[in-house]
């Protein structure tokens, strides 16, 4: 064969292998997908990557189902961990951070169409308002879910809610007592509104997820599960002492291969 052609093929293969980690060993455990918003980003936005197109979301859910993953609600995952029900062979949690209005308007219809379960981490003081914790010069404020939309999502039987604090602060940068208030008060307020236990907590920006004092606070507040933004799949069985759950960030520009490698290898990129 022409040596230039062989060289070209080798270079292309090397580039492919640098972009996509198909060569990484397969891992098993709990796959937690991390979404934020569905649809098209408002302009101007520096966070375009967090807006996943609805058609891509539908394709990703179909891929999950076809691949044998079982998307669970937090309460179902808790029951399976406790042995009250069988742990699916390939358990998954679909999560949305923040609780913006598109979660009900765009995601819920697709979840209903496919009968897929998901979980939303709410910023409690943002419900019925906007993402007012953002600097509007950097990121336009987004409409949040209101309590009616939250109730509608719950009534579908396909969505459960966790806490993403009261005001979306950088927890590790707060005085401890203020961070503790964010963790405890959001659970109390959500449980009063939902009349159901709130089992899960997600650290805004992932901040504090590996701080032992903050984790102890999350645990003593009564949460069973806490979620970081560290990339990866979490081995099962899991105990709180093992550390917060890792997640798989889904980006707007992800290809089908990225999504597939995230689920099988815990990451798609170097």
Q: Point out which residues bind Zn ion (CB under 5 A).
A: 97-98, 204
Of 52, 41, 36, 13, nearest in space to 259 by CA: 52
Check if the beta carbon of residue 207 is closer than 8 Å to that of residue 173.
Answer: yes
- When the beta carbons of 20 and 203 are compared against Zn ion, the nearer one is 203
Nearest to 73 by CA among 109, 32, 38: 32
**DSSP, res 260:** H
Give the nearest distance from C-beta 229 to Zn ion in angstroms.
Answer: 9
**Residue 227 three-state SS:** strand
Closest approach, Cβ 238 to Zn ion, in A, equals: 22
Q: Which is nearer to Zn ion, 170 or 242 (CB)?
A: 170
Q: Rounded to the nearest whole angstrom, what is the least distance from the CB of residue 139 to Zn ion in the complex?
A: 11
The nearest distance, CB 188 to Zn ion, in angstroms, is 20
Nearer to Zn ion, 103 or 264 (CB): 103
Q: Which residues of 27-59 are buried (b: 16+ CB within 10 A; e: fewer)?
A: eebbbbbbbbbbbebeeebebeebbbeeebbbe
Output 97 or 226, the one with its CB closest to Zn ion: 97
State the minimum distance, in angstroms, from the CB of residue 133 to Zn ion: 9
Residue placing its CB nearer to Zn ion in the complex, 133 or 238: 133
In 3D space, the residue among 159, 63, 176 whose CA is nearest the CA of residue 111 turns out to be: 159
Which residue is nearest to Zn ion, using beta carbons? 97
């Amino acid at each position: 064969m022409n040596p230039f052609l062989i060289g070209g093929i080798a270079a292309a293969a090397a580039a492919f292998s640098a972009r996509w980690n198909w060569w990484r060993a397969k891992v098993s455990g709990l796959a937690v997908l991390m979404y934020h918003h569905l649809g098209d980003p408002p302009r101007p936005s520096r966070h375009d990557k967090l807006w996943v197109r609805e058609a891509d979301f539908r394709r990703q859910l179909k891929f999950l189902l076809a691949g044998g993953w079982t998307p669970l609600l937090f309460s179902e995952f808790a029951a399976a961990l406790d042995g009250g029900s069988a742990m699916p062979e390939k358990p998954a949690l679909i999560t949305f951070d923040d609780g913006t209005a598109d979660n009900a308007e765009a995601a819920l219809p697709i979840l209903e169409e496919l009968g897929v379960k998901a979980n939303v981490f709410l910023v409690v003081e943002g419900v019925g308002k906007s993402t007012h914790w953002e600097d509007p010069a950097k990121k336009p404020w987004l409409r949040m879910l209101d309590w009616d939309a939250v109730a509608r999502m719950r009534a579908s039987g396909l969505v459960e809610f966790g806490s993403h604090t009261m005001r979306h602060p950088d927890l590790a940068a707060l005085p401890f007592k203020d961070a503790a208030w964010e963790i405890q008060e959001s659970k109390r307020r959500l449980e009063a509104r939902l009349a159901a236990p709130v089992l899960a907590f997600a650290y805004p920006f992932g901040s504090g997820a590996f701080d032992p004092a903050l984790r102890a606070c999350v645990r003593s507040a009564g949460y069973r599960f806490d979620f970081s933004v560290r990339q990866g799949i979490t081995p099962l069985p899991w105990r709180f002492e093992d550390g917060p759950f890792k997640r798989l960030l889904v980006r707007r520009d992800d290809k089908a291969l990225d999504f597939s490698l995230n689920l099988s290898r815990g990451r798609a990129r170097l």
